[in-house]
Amino acid sequence: MTKRARKTAKKEANYQPVLPLREFVRAQLFDTVVNLGIQQIYEILEEERAVLCGPRYRHDEDREAVRSGHVRGTLPMGGRMVVLDRPRVRSADGQREIPLESWEQFQAADPLTERAVEQMVIGVSTRKYDRSLEPLPKELEASGTSKSAVSRRFIQGTQRKFDELTGRDLSTLNLKVIMIDGIHFADHVVLVALGIDDKGGKTVIGLHEGATENSASCRALLRGIVDRGVSSERAMLFVIDGGKGLRKAIRDAWGELALIQRCQVHKLRNVEEHLPESMKEAVHQAMNQAYRIGDVKKAKKLLRNLAAKIKNEHPGASSSLEEGLDETLTVMGLGLPEQLERMLSVTNAIENLFSTVRSVSHRVKRWRGGMMILRWTAAGLLEAERGFRRIRGHRHMSKLVSALQEHERKVGVNHEIDAMRESA
């Protein structure tokens, strides 16, 4: 036998088949943990039953409760309900059932609704919910994973999330910026308000459903924010998409204390809608140059020259550019560092929220009313909040705070002058 043949024979003699050990251990460990947990539940129940009924096989004339066998009951486990034999206790005269507090506590600690919401949010359909759960030992009977059961729990869970979101106490937030924009679902619009505090932290502070972004819907949104603790007597920077109804609602609530910034990205889109493809890029670059120049007077001059240049051939684009031009430069006039100025000149922060909402709800093919839309939107917004970070340029928020304080002083001085004129 050759040297190579001897080596090959030795390897074959020493070969041991490799078992899928990782999968085997994982399955065995899960079964063991589940079985130990169930055993622990039974021990707790039996201990409580012993306290109520006394030790087994001992006669006690004074006892007030007796053991009464077992009855089938269900407890939440691993995202579904499992059937267990629940110990029963009855009064000594046999007239009434005595509940076991530990069993009621196990049932009250119900994670099923949160589990269903979590699965739906990450993209699991109600039909595939059961497949997404860890398998249980075969001897356990399970329920609560049908499409209808999961749907009911999802409705309950998202309703709680909506109530949580719209019931938040906002009085503890030192908000300096409120961004507002709308997301469309079929014939409905959901207005969402994102608050930014003096440290640059973000919080979803309100949402309201309506048919359009009209002033009535906007007033309802702002009224809810004020009712929950945001002061309308302090200066606030509002970053909006430019809707007239929203602007009017802000002025009605905050008056002159509101500084309104029209989103520059929305303005770019609006102008480009009135232009042919051949001109869009050039106009886009010209507007961006004005928005990044850092000087309000120069920016206004560039934008007005651009509007005059395209007016003859494209009057719609020219009118769109001139409409609300000053409000697209509000933040530029506050003297903020460039990074913070860019951040607060657009509604990108709230658009990022909407991308998460769309991702969460993309499988919904039919919307059954505004309440369903609000529940799904709330679930998506709270999912987005998990990844919230402070805004870019948050280290310079103190400069925005100073600018808002200066605006408050100017408004106060103007009010005093108006009062003096009226009295004269």
pLDDT tens digits along 28-85: 655 666 677 778 888 888 888 888 888 887 777 778 888 888 998 888 776 778 888 8
The count of residues in the chain is: 424
Whether 420 is in a domain gets the answer no
Whether 246 is in a domain gets the answer yes
pLDDT in tens, 166-216: 999 999 999 999 999 999 988 889 999 999 999 999 999 999 998 777 788
Burial (Cβ within 10 Å: 0-12, 13-18, ≥19) of residue 280: middle
Is 271 in contact with 303 (CB distance < 8 Å)?
A: no
Q: Which pLDDT score is estimated for 139?
A: 74
99 and 52 assigned to the same domain = yes
Domain end residue (candidates: 162, 190, 212): 162
Share of the chain above pLDDT 90, in %: 49
- Does residue 267 surpass a pLDDT of 90? yes
Average pLDDT of span 102-122: 73
Confidence band of 19 (pLDDT split at 50, 70, 90): very low
- Does residue 13 surpass a pLDDT of 60? no
140 and 267 assigned to the same domain = no
363 and 303 assigned to the same domain = yes
209 and 353 assigned to the same domain = yes
230 and 155 assigned to the same domain = no
From the list 174, 172, 229, the residue with the least C-alpha distance to 206 is 229
Whether 423 is in a domain gets the answer no
Is 90 in contact with 66 (CB distance < 8 Å)?
A: yes
147 and 269 assigned to the same domain = no
Only one residue has tokens 């990450």, namely: 122
107 and 253 assigned to the same domain = no
Whether 129 is in a domain gets the answer yes
Domain end residue (candidates: 162, 187, 221): 162
Whether 335 is in a domain gets the answer yes
pLDDT in tens, 331-371: 999 999 999 999 999 999 999 999 999 988 888 888 888 89
Whether 201 is in a domain gets the answer yes
From the list 333, 153, 72, the residue with the least C-alpha distance to 145 is 153
Note down the domain range covering 284. Answer: 173-410
**pTM of the predicted model, to two decimals?**
0.76
Whether 17 is in a domain gets the answer no
Share of the chain above pLDDT 70, in %: 87
Q: Which pLDDT score is estimated for 112?
A: 61
What residues have CB less than 8 Å from 41, skipping those under 6 apart? 75, 84, 106
| Phi/psi of residue 137, nearest 5 degrees | -55, 145
- Does residue 232 surpass a pLDDT of 70? yes
210 and 325 assigned to the same domain = yes
Whether 3 is in a domain gets the answer no
CA atoms of 20 and 23, how far apart (whole Å): 6
